[in-house]
Amino acid sequence: MKKKYDLIIIGAGLSSLMFLNQYLKKTSEQKILLLEQKDKINSDQTFCVWEGPGLPSISENFQLKPKKIWNNIVLNSLNDQIKRHVKPYSYVCFDGKETLESLLSTCKEKIKVIKNEKVVQISCEKKAQIVTTENSVYYSKLIVDSRNNIKPHEIKSPLMQQAFVGDEIELTDERFEPDDVTLMSFKKNDNEIEFTYILPFSKKRALIETTVFTQSPRLGVIEEKHRKILKVYEPYKKIRQEKAIIPMAVVLPDEELKILKIGAGAGMIRGSSGYSMRRIANWAIKLKPEQLNESNLPLFRYHSNGWLNWLDKIFLNVIFKYPDNGPYIFMMLFRRAKMPSLIRFLSDIVVVTDLINILLCMPKRLMLKGLIKKKNE
């Protein structure tokens, strides 16, 4: 007997669960299958976004409880510091494990979840899509695919990698400023952009990450640098660790018949920053699930904004060729830009006056080099 479904979702990560959270709010009962190749649905990563006026609220729309909210941001270079108050906006942190558990809890009674089920092939018949796994075969009218299957020709900019190693630690004394989030504390590195990212949850507890934007990520090297940074905070208790490599590129995916790509494979990771939660949320909140069918798939595909792609390509060209200038670019941008304009820009909200403000705040000679390189490619 054929295992038939109205909708099959491949992968149970952030994009799939945010999609399901919004999809099931607005649709009548359907037979939905969620396939996850791992034996657990969780994440050891921390998700952060900007929240505030003009930005769809992730906390409210997805019923998620923030782990911490900050209204002050800090950036450090070797001989400079920027500290800015961003209210009425805020930088918001969500615990990865709790976020996925919460999103799954809102939909697990309405769908079937199968873990340890790796998809090996997707094929097409006239009236159905066929999903073949290592253990079984499933049939569906539509497929949502969240796997990170980015093809080389879908990458429309230089490809950088954001590699990081982070530890949440607890100190014996009070050394953190819990009201200030350090987005970037740059280290001297002529070949890569290297910085420390500090999310303080209290005066004694914080997540400290060593992050590198690079063409060739080497987690072992980053781990060694990270251990040296943590020595400053000894003695401490290690609560947990997170590490990953995230692609940084402008991705324009192929449009496959009857398959809706989401997540990294759909270009939902912002090329210039490596952030994804805000981009996924903005897309999911706008969904009109009642219209989802094979003839309407183009309406549901994620399409990144052309102006944002253009600016991200220029930025990626610059840091690909001149990584030693990365700290200078970030420091100039966060010092000069109007914070509401910068936050909307970083959150994929496109306002013409914001784009003009961002352009005027960037180092023009470097950006021109990135633009010329882009035109010559």
pLDDT digits (tens, 9 = 90+) for 99-108: 999 999 999 8
Q: Is 52 a domain residue?
A: no
Per the CB < 8 A criterion, the answer to whether 176 and 204 are in contact is yes
Tokens encoding 238:
């290690």
Q: Are residues 255 and 353 in the same domain?
A: no
What is the per-residue pLDDT for 246? 96
User: Would 345 be classed as within a structural domain?
Assistant: yes
Q: What is the mean pLDDT of residues 58-77?
A: 97
The 10s digit of each residue's pLDDT in 79-126 is: 899 999 999 999 999 999 999 999 999 998 999 999 999 999 998 887
Residue 331 in any domain: the answer is: yes
Of residues 222, 211, 217, the one with CA closest to residue 160 = 217
Mean pLDDT value of segment 170-178 = 97
> Looking at the domain assignment, is residue 296 inside a domain?
yes
Domain span at residue 356 reads 306-376
* Euclidean distance between CA atoms 263 and 289, whole angstroms: 18
Residues 27 and 99 in one domain: yes
The answer to whether position 264 is within a domain reads: yes
CA 282 to chain centre: 12
Q: Are 181 and 216 in the same domain? A: yes
Residue 31 sits in the same domain as residue 116: yes
| Residue 217 maps to a domain | yes
pTM of the model: 0.93
CA–CA distance, 41 with 35 (Å, rounded to integer): 10
Q: What confidence tier does 288 reach under pLDDT thresholds 50, 70, 90?
A: confident
Is 190 found in the same domain as 126?
A: no
Lowest-confidence region among 91-105, 228-242, 356-370:
356-370
The answer to whether residue 54 is domain-embedded is no
**Position 236 in a domain:** yes
Structural domain count of the chain: 3
Confidence of residue 257 (pLDDT cuts 50, 70, 90): low
The pLDDT confidence band at residue 290, using thresholds 50, 70 and 90, is confident
Q: Provide the pLDDT for residue 373.
A: 59
